Structures are given as C-alpha cells and as structure tokens.
Amino acid sequence: MSTKILMPAMSPSMKTGSLTKWLVKVGDTVNSGDIIAEIETDKAGMEVESMYDGVLSQILVSEGTEDVEIKTPIAIIELDSETVSEPIAVLDTEELKGKLFTNKVKPVKKVAANKKVIKKSLPDDNQFSVREALRDAMAEEMRLDKDVFVIGEEVAEYQGAYKVTQGLLDEFGKDRVIDTPITENGFAGISIGASFAGLKPIVEFMTFNFALQAMDHIINSAAKTLYMGGGQINSQIVFRGPNGAAARVGAQHSQDFSAWFSHIPGLIVIAPYTANDSKGLLKAAIRNPNPVIFLENEILYNDKGVVDITDQDIIEIGKANIVKTGDDITIISFSICMKLAIEASEILSNEGIDVEIIDLRTLKPLDKDTIINSVKKTNKCIVVEQGWSQSGVASEISAILMEEAFDYLDGPVCRVSGKDVPMPYAENLEKLALPTVEDILNAVKKII
C-alpha cells in the first residue's frame, strides 16, 4: 500500500510554498521523523518530515518548483506492511493538516556576509506582492535618510515574522535593523524616546494584537507630546504590522484595530489594500513628521499588483481612491474588505446596479470630501469593515453623512461590519463572524 506525501500547510495563512530541495531520492528508505525535503513558505524556510515508514517510490513535484499549493501531492511512499493499519495513513487531508503543523522551523539561511543592496526583482510587468512593496518602501527610505531605522521582534536575523523585513539586515546592518526582546511597551517607548531626539523609527509589531501592550506609549507619549509641548517636540515614527483577522488563530490574534487608533487625535492611521498603495503610503508615512499607525493585513501580503512607485514618489496621505465610478450606490471600504466590495460590485453590476467603490486608504485624516461628493451623486451608501460595528469606522462615516449630506441621502447608510463577538476559532463560526459579500448584497437590497 502506498500513500501520498502532501505539500504541508505550515502556517494559518499559507496557501502555496516552494519546494526548494529533496533530501531523499526515489528508492530511498524513509522512516517516520526523517527529514525528506526543504520547503520555503511565505514566512520561513521549513523542513518536511516523513510521517511514514517505507520506501520513496515516486517524486511528483521536482526540486525548485515554486507556488506549490498546499495539500498538493509531492511524493509517494510505498508503506511498510505493518504501517498499513496506522490510522493516520488513511485520514483525509483536512484532518492531516493539524499533524503537519508539527514540522520544525528552520532558521533562514544567511544570504551573504558582505553588505549588499536588496536586489530589485523587476518582473516585466512590474507586479509585486504587498509584502515586497512594503519591504521596498522601507529600504528606499532607509537609503534616503540615515535616521530611519527598523526595530521590532524578529525583524532582523529571522527576516521578519511575516518576512516583510526580509533582506533589510543584509543591506543595512544590525545598527539599523534591530531585533528586540518580546517587550512591546518597552520597545515602543524606547522608539518614541528616540523619535523625540530626532530619529525616525519604523516599529514593527509582529501583529497589532501585541500593540495593546504598548497602547499607553502610542497614545500618551507618541500622539500627545507635540500638543502638550506647544509644538516643541514631535514624534516622527511609524508603527506598522499586520492588523485584522488572520485565519483560524482565535480571538486574541484576530481583530481589527482600525477604529481604536482612528479615535486618537495626534495619530495618522493608514490601512492600504493594494501593493502600490502599500508602498506609496508607507514611504509617505516614514517621511511624515507625525506618529503614523500603518495597518497591514497578513492575508493580503501575497497579493500582487502593479507597483509604479519608485524612489522619490509617495502617495498622499488622507486621500481616498475611487476604484470604480458608478451612479447607483456608493460602497466604501478599506484594507482586506475591499475584496468583498469589489466582488459585490461585480455581482450587482450583473443585476444592473452601478456601484461606485471607494477605497479609503487613510482612516485618519478621513477624506470626507470624496465620501460626501460620491454620496451626493449616488444618494446611497454602504460601508464595509472587518472591525466591530459599535463606534467603528463605518459608524463614523455614517454619522458624517447624516450631518453633512443628509439631504442627499435616499435611504439609511448601512454598516456591514464584523459581528459583535470575539473571533471564534471554529472554521464555520469564524466565517460567520466576518463580513461577507452576502452581507453586502443584503444591505444593498435593503436600501435599493
């Protein structure tokens, strides 16, 4: 009896990986626990262990293959007779996933001892992932200004917990790409202190969930000191990292803080969707003399798009983007929920409803003009966000429209938000907790 070895899922958000090396060849005997291959995921280089005893009879995916989807069979093992009865061999792939998580993380190879500029991978079509766009933004700004540095957990030697800072250590060295202990309040405070003295830190939170530990310094030290000092001391600092729901990581690691930070005077809050906006806005954030909260999204990191922002370019903070013009209804969103807005708009278009889609990009300061002008035209509005509805970004926009565009509204402004519960772990419940295309379509039907 034989069994297939599948491309393992090594992280909750991993969809594909590269098979970098086979450590066994056809005909080799493998035992359970033997390392048989090396793969590269979106986050790290990993080793794949065999869970079976037997003989490798076939390699299905050759060494060097990129973008291998998880659960794709990569090899076949002819099992030893006594393992046939082992239940694991006959479990389906979904159940296998949990087991495969046990694979060990292998430290990423050091690239080169000598400093070198991150190679510009210039694909013909200028397509970059959001992850690359963010990294390139930091690298370009660090080349332009020696006061800019990156600090956070695993940003240097590990190359970034989500690989966003990959390669920065090699080019800029350990004085400018700084690993910290797991002490968010401490290193946020230290970075803000350094910004008071004129440096320009980029502080990476491994995820924004951990920024809660540092909330006092972000709000009380970074956001307010300029005002409390009558304009004497500013804090030119960027706090960046993934925000919002990840995948199947439960309540403490899956939440959207857009509204929290948007509430605070003194902070600028940015939440981009596309790769180009990620790059242009991060560059603008690094150059901005104020504290900027830069909310990325883990699930968007691999999304590719055309990036035409180069060294000197930035995208202006505080400007929303009209992604698609339309006459019948305005759908406003930002970050990952833009996916839902776009998908809903396509469905509605088939039903003859012409949607105008606005990507806010910056949440504070909010681009009120673009919002109001759009609603003056369409007279209807839906706001989609992943965060909880109470006191949310959608609530704010809804209030602005009530106050400043009341006479133009043909119906209530509808909020499509995350459900008012901590994020559940179970796959079905997690889906229910998050806003969906269906939710948008239902909202549209309510007001059209």
Partner 1 sequence: MLNSKKKSKKINKIHLTNSDEVSAYTEMLKIRRFEEKAGQLYGMGKIGGFCHLYIGQEAVVVGLQMSIEKGDQLITTYRDHGHMIACGMDPKGVMAELFGKSDGYSKGKGGSMHMFSKEMNFYGGHGIVGASVPLGTGLAFANKYRKNDRVALTYFGDGAANQGQVYESFNMAKLWNLPCIYIIENNRYAMGTSIQRSSAQSDLSQRGISFGIEGEQVDGMDISAVVEAGKRIVDRTRNGGGPYILEMLTYRYRGHSMSDPAQYRTRDEVNEVRDHSDPIESVKNRILKKKILSEVALKDIDSVIKKQILDAAVFAENSPLPEEVELWNDVYVK
Active-site positions read: 184, 253
Q: Which is nearer to partner 1, 5 or 188 (CB)?
A: 188
Per CB under 8 A, residues contacting partner 1 are: 149, 175, 180-181, 183, 185-199, 216-217, 220-221, 225-234, 265-266, 268, 289-290
Q: How far apart are CA 271 and CA 321, in angstroms?
A: 12
Identify the CA nearest to 61 among candidates 40, 50, 75, 47.
Answer: 75
Neighbours of 141 (CB within 10 A): 21
| CB nearer partner 1, residue 188 or residue 249 | 188
Closest separation between CB of residue 239 and partner 1, Å? 14
Q: Are 3 and 32 in contact (CB under 8 A)?
A: no
Residue 230 CB, shortest distance to partner 1, in Å, is 4
Q: How far is the CB of 278 from partner 1 (least distance, A)?
A: 22
Helices and strands: H and E segment counts in the chain: 13, 23
Q: Which is nearer to partner 1, 186 or 412 (CB)?
A: 186
Q: How far is the CB of 234 from partner 1 (least distance, A)?
A: 5
| Residue 381 near residue 330 (C-beta atoms within 8 A) | yes
Residue 198 or 411 with smaller CB distance to partner 1: 198
Tell me if 386 sits within 8 A of 434, measured CB to CB: yes
Q: Which CB atom, from 361 or from 364, has the smaller least distance to partner 1?
A: 364
Dihedral of CA 362/366/369/375: which sign? positive
Sign of CA dihedral 178, 298, 245, 266: positive
C-alpha pair distances (Å), 275 with each of 137, 195, 244: 11, 27, 17
- Backbone torsions φ then ψ of 286, nearest 5 degrees: -65, -35
We find the least distance from the C-beta atom of residue 4 to partner 1, in angstroms, to be: 47
